[in-house]
């Protein structure tokens, strides 16, 4: 096999292995997030930029909309946002 074909094959195999590993491991929630409660995540993420209102200040639908909006601004994962929403809704 000529060197150019070997290089192309090496690149293709490397790319395939990278894509497979990202697919397998990229969807898992990091353990440090999985171990944290919604209350912890709320305190750690929301208080970085502003004071947090009391959980009973908004109803369940309002909290869902607020956290969904802030998920993008605070750069938190869907898992983190879901835990925070669950905490806030159960605190009402």
pLDDT digits (tens, 9 = 90+) for 37-74: 999 999 888 888 888 888 999 999 999 999 999 999 88
Tell me the CA distances in angstroms from 78 to 2, 7, 12, 31, 90, one per residue in order: 48, 39, 32, 15, 18
* Domains in the chain: boundaries: 1-29, 36-92
> What distance in Å separates the CA atoms of residue 26 and residue 5, rounded to the nearest whole number?
30
What are the phi and psi torsion angles at 27 (to 5°)? -95, -5
Verdict on whether the full-model pTM lies above 0.85: no
CATH class of the domain comprising 36-92: mainly alpha
């Amino acid at each position: 096999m000529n060197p150019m074909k070997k290089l192309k094959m090496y690149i293709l195999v490397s790319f395939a292995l990278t894509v497979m590993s990202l697919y397998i491991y990229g969807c898992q929630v990091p353990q440090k997030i999985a171990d944290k409660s919604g209350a912890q995540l709320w305190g750690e993420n929301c208080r970085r930029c502003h004071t947090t209102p009391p959980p009973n200040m908004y109803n369940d639908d309002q909290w869902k909309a607020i956290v969904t909006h802030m998920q993008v601004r605070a750069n938190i994962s869907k898992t983190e946002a879901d835990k925070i929403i669950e905490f806030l809704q159960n605190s009402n």
